[in-house]
């Protein structure tokens, strides 16, 4: 495959997620001081994360299905992901790299958007910024803004940042695996 200078490499994407992680860690330190939100990693949080991730996982499978790809806006997103600047990422990734990417995205983005921004500017504004930073197509903006709101709502509901972190990680990992499989077929 001929490399295009506009392509985003796996290394660049991991570095971007490391930046999100560092910024999220630095800015979200105050969430530990907020007694309404407790960062607890325990078995009930993990189970809760699995349960709350199911609607997103179902969406990921539908989006990647033959039926989902008949929906023009979904097909447009898929084309942008697999044929646009991210094609290098999927062409040269491994399942291990996808896992690392999903872990970094889950931790970094949730600390930044939920633990920091949401507590400072509110759930709606944080969700819109989350969607804007994932903008590839207008449809993807709407989807990611909705997902951001869902994750923010779960954070407010549970009071535990690790529940949306796990949901985000699990959804991203499944979605990336499905894209990886589709790209390699």
8 A C-beta contact, residue 10 and residue 97: yes
Distances (CA, A) of 107 to 13, 39, 175, 176: 15, 12, 17, 16
Give the pLDDT score at 7.
Answer: 46
Query: Does any domain span residue 172?
Result: yes
* Distance from C-alpha of 116 to C-alpha of 6, rounded to nearest angstrom: 32
Share of the chain above pLDDT 90, in %: 33
Handedness of CA 174, 107, 94, 81 (dihedral sign): positive
pTM equals: 0.81
Helix (H) or strand (E) holding 185: none
Q: Which domain holds residue 165?
A: 50-183
Where does the pLDDT of residue 23 fall: very low under 50, low under 70, confident under 90, or very high at 90 and above? low
Query: Does any domain span residue 154?
Result: yes
Name residues whose C-beta falls within 8 Å of residue 59's C-beta, 6 or more positions apart in sequence.
Answer: none
Q: Which of 7-11, 156-160, 162-166 has the lowest mean pLDDT?
A: 7-11
**How many domains are there within the chain?**
1
Query: Does any domain span residue 61?
Result: yes
Query: Does any domain span residue 90?
Result: yes
Query: Does any domain span residue 26?
Result: no
* Distance from C-alpha of 54 to C-alpha of 38, rounded to nearest angstrom: 23
* Distance from C-alpha of 156 to C-alpha of 164, rounded to nearest angstrom: 10
């Amino acid at each position: 495959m001929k490399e295009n200078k506009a392509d985003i490499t796996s290394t660049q994407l991991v570095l971007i997620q490391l930046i999100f992680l560092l910024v999220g860690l630095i800015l979200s330190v105050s969430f530990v001081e907020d007694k309404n939100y407790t960062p607890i990693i325990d078995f009930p949080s993990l189970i809760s994360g699995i349960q709350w991730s199911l609607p997103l996982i179902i969406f990921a499978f539908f989006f990647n299905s033959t039926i989902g790809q008949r929906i023009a806006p979904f097909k447009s997103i898929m084309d942008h992901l697999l044929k646009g600047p991210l094609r290098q990422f999927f062409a040269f990734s491994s399942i291990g790299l996808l896992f690392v990417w999903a872990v970094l995205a889950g931790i970094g983005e949730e600390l930044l958007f939920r633990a920091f921004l949401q507590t400072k500017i509110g759930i709606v504004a944080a969700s819109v910024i989350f969607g804007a930073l994932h903008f590839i197509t207008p449809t993807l903006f709407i989807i990611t803004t909705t997902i951001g709101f869902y994750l923010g709502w779960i954070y407010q509901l549970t009071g535990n940042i690790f529940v949306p972190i796990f949901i985000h990680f699990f959804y991203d990992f499944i979605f990336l695996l499905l894209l990886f499989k589709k790209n390699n077929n």
